[in-house]
Structure 1
């Protein structure tokens, strides 16, 4: 079968590579793809924008594509699944109504309240002065969020009132017209990506992401600077609670609202010191860079699972099969990210790497030369028997890569180093 993956990041490169491990997948097309997918065997980039739905539908017909897999949240929020389904195309990814769980934090909060899902107390504001008054009433630390999509950068964890007030002004000045302000939750973050066909929901391995740009989880929020899986923080007991208290109630709430949600439901969680899982936010797609740590460990054919979700046959699938070990992904970014950065820097050293997988994100191929083309440039993933061996492998690989301004965190996974 032929499959079209919509998107251009490291997540989409990882999805495409995982799909191609199956003998049932002849060809993967990526729209628009990146420098990595451009050079992968049996993979072809299509110069199509992720929001050009008519062109994507035409490509499905032209290339005899059996399934479309939507990577990023933006086309999902714009209704790509609805459009393609209306053209009789099988899609892995929720409809526009379901994508609201990521596209609107206030909508997600309402759904969680309705379903009794554990999360932080919050309030929604469209007026800056009202938001500031609420912050002064509640005190700090407190979390200020843009209600709508912000590429992972619309969340400010304010440890004092001054920075919380400044966050309100900053987000409104950026053009966001609605903010969600919520209690600061104490604990450790975890990511659980789950497959669902709208009835059955099956979690993948738990992961931990590193959102902050600086080592020791300091500095500005980013799209993610590294991840590892499975995360020891999420014990089998906690995972069972996540299934019964978070994942299944969310699917039940969708169904109650008449929303047929098929694809990935990603729960960003805090695990409190008492072992209580609480939802920070939901996403409507695979996480990035969690996908680059989770999918390399998956042994069950990915296209089989995606088809089961799209065809509402997930309950018929056998238990997921996983490789043993720990996978760690380290993101190599452009200097200056998450603020201004330059593009077009030559990337070298990838060809020498043997013990790690390289997932391209912000790259492009120009006259056979691989160049930087984004803030997060590469995700380097290695698998080891334990954290210590995985860390050694991944940082050995990272050290072989060079481009002007290259930056990466040196502490991904070190919390659990044995």
Structure 2
């Protein structure tokens, strides 16, 4: 057997919990470190590192002194700020796109221009750099209309407006809050899907599909969040629709990355909507999604270390092998999330039991005395022979517990008929 390696995961949330846990399962791995991580990671043997995810000099020093084979970047902020470029300059291996490629998430306008240039189907759209032009541009669109902040917004910088008065108010508020650019987009109608590619320059593998639930409350009501629950696989996705996604979206996207000399080594998340005219891209993200990662990676039977290692060495990527079992997860969030989440609430001890596991995110304290640290606190997950069984196990588990100053959606999976 080859020598086991140390790897580093950058980030601190539920997504990074799932990535680190999956890497820790590999026979090639000695120890997974996570910077800054969260205290819940101790429950699965992940070692926290007290370094902020944007403190690149200290992360580089840690990678050198701890003989890190390579680093896996979780959050988009670090990628957009250029962590990959900094690691490359230091002679270190790191899995993620460069700052230039990360603009596909860092700027909505940049991503839409990329789609236009390389023939990737998307919504009718236009970017604006000032309020006067944006208000005048409203006349080019009907309602409902999608208004997006151009930069990173943690999945929450999107507003769907129903009429002109609401549109004017939203545009004025976005510019008043410091936006230097925003995008107006045609409102597409249809089911949404999350598709993830593991890329090595022009070569790629498609990870299992997942369904996210962005709105805060049951019935897809309330403000957009980072995601309130997910499941995989997707029984409602027809095979021919999936093939159209590959042919009409994935292939021209990858061809564009090659033609544009992006040298993309990392994850590309494609947010899709299946319209009556076919699949269209809502957005690109340049990393794994949260909470989709937590339901995708448990189904992946391919060794994640081997997949990433091959990509970084520009070797042939291993075939993706996926379990026939289904995974289902519900996010427990702090009361008041996403606008004003409560902090510091005590979290009752949540043991893994009856096919249920916990992926921790925004928590502090220690494993026996956990407290909420705002936002999405944790995810309750189940893996079972069917989505229905996994769904029932998660909700039975949650229904038996009193979670103080917390909330969760009760209808995750409804789009799959659960």
Q: Which residue of 1 aligns with 2:132?
A: 129
- The 8 Å contact of residues 350 and 400 in structure 1, kept in 2 or not, is answered as no
Q: Does 1:331 align with 2:331?
A: yes
Distance 2:79 2:209 in 1: 23
In the TM superposition, residue 394 of structure 1 has moved relative to its aligned partner by 1.1
User: Partner of 1:170 in structure 2?
Assistant: 173
SS in 2 for 1:143: strand
Q: Which moved more, 1:228-237 or 1:331-340?
A: 228-237
1:250 is matched with which residue? Answer: 253
For residues 243-297 of structure 1, the C-alpha deviation after alignment (integer angstroms, 9 at most, x for no partner) is: 22222222222222221111101000001145x1100000000000010111111
Partner SS, residue 282 of structure 2: strand
Partner of 1:304: 306
- Alpha-carbon distance in structure 1 between the residues aligned to 2:74 and 2:400: 29
Show the counterpart of 1:192: 195
Compared CA separation, residues 56 and 92, structure 1 to 2 (3 A): same
The match for 1:117 among 90, 95, 120 is 120
Residues 341, 318 of structure 1: alpha-carbon distance in 2 compared, 3 angstrom cutoff: closer
Q: Match for residue 92 of structure 2?
A: 89
Assess, with a 3 A threshold, how the Cα gap between structure 1 residues 296 and 177 changes in structure 2: closer, same or farther: same
Cα separation, 2, equivalents of 1:179 and 1:82:
27
* Partner of residue 286 from structure 1, selected from 280, 285, 288: 288
Please state whether the residue corresponding to 1:31 is helix, strand or coil. strand
Residue 80 (1) aligns with residue 83 (2): yes
Q: Give how far 1:402 is off.
A: 4.0
Query: Displacement, 1:413?
Result: 0.4
- Tell me whether 277-286 or 353-362 shows the greater mean CA deviation: 353-362
Asked if 1:5 corresponds to 2:9, the answer is: yes
Partner-residue secondary structure (3-state), 1:195? strand
Describe the superposition over 1:57-109 as per-residue Cα deviations: whole angstroms up to 9, x where unpaired: 11111211101000000000000001101111111111111100000010001
TM-score, reference length from structure 2? 0.95
User: Match of 2:22?
Assistant: 18
Matches of 1:221 and 1:323, distance apart in 2: 31
Q: Distance in 2 between matches of 1:236 and 1:195?
A: 21
The residue that corresponds to 1:142 in the other structure is: 145
In 2: Cα distance, 1:352 partner to 1:252 partner: 43
Mapped partners of 1:87, 1:249: distance in 2: 33
Is contact 1:103-1:148 (8 Å) kept? yes
Deviation at 1:375, TM superposition (A): 0.5
> In structure 2, do the counterparts of structure 1 residues 234 and 202 end up closer, same or farther at CA, with 3 Å as the change threshold?
farther
Deviations 1:287-311 (A, max 9, x none): 0001011111111111111112222
Conservation of the 8 A alpha-carbon contact between 1:206 and 1:234 = no
In structure 2, the partner of 1:357 is 357
Q: What is the CA-CA distance between 1:349 and the residue it aligns to?
A: 3.4
Partner of 2:224: 221
- Once the two structures are superposed, residues 7-53 of structure 1 have per-residue CA deviations (whole angstroms, 9 ceiling, x without a partner) of 00000000011111112111000000012113322x21011011111
Query: How far does residue 408 in structure 1 lie from its aligned partner after superposition?
Result: 0.1
**How far apart are 1:111 and its partner, in Å?**
0.5
For structure 2, the 5+ residue unaligned runs are none
Change (3 A) 1:172 1:285: same
The Cα shift of 1:237 comes to: 2.3
TM superposition outliers: structure 1 runs of 4+ over 6 Å: none
Deviation at 1:133, TM superposition (A): 1.9
Distance (whole Å) between structure 2 residues aligned to residue 417 and residue 235 of structure 1? 14
Paired with 1:307 and 1:367, the residues of 2 have a C-alpha distance of: 32
Moved more, 238-247 or 51-60: 238-247
Structure 1 residue matching 2:216: 3-state secondary structure: strand
- Does the aligned pair in 1 maintain the 2:215–2:225 contact within 8 Å? yes
- Counterpart Cα distance in 2 of 1:352 and 1:281: 35
CA RMSD of aligned residues (A): 1.5
Please name the residue that 2:383 is paired with.
383
Structure 1 distance, partners of 2:169, 2:201, is 40
The answer for unaligned runs of 5 or more in structure 1 is none
Q: Secondary structure at the match of 1:391?
A: helix
Q: Which residue of 2 is the match for residue 58 of structure 1?
A: 61
Distance 2:379 2:368 in 1: 21
Distance 1:249 1:402 in 2: 48
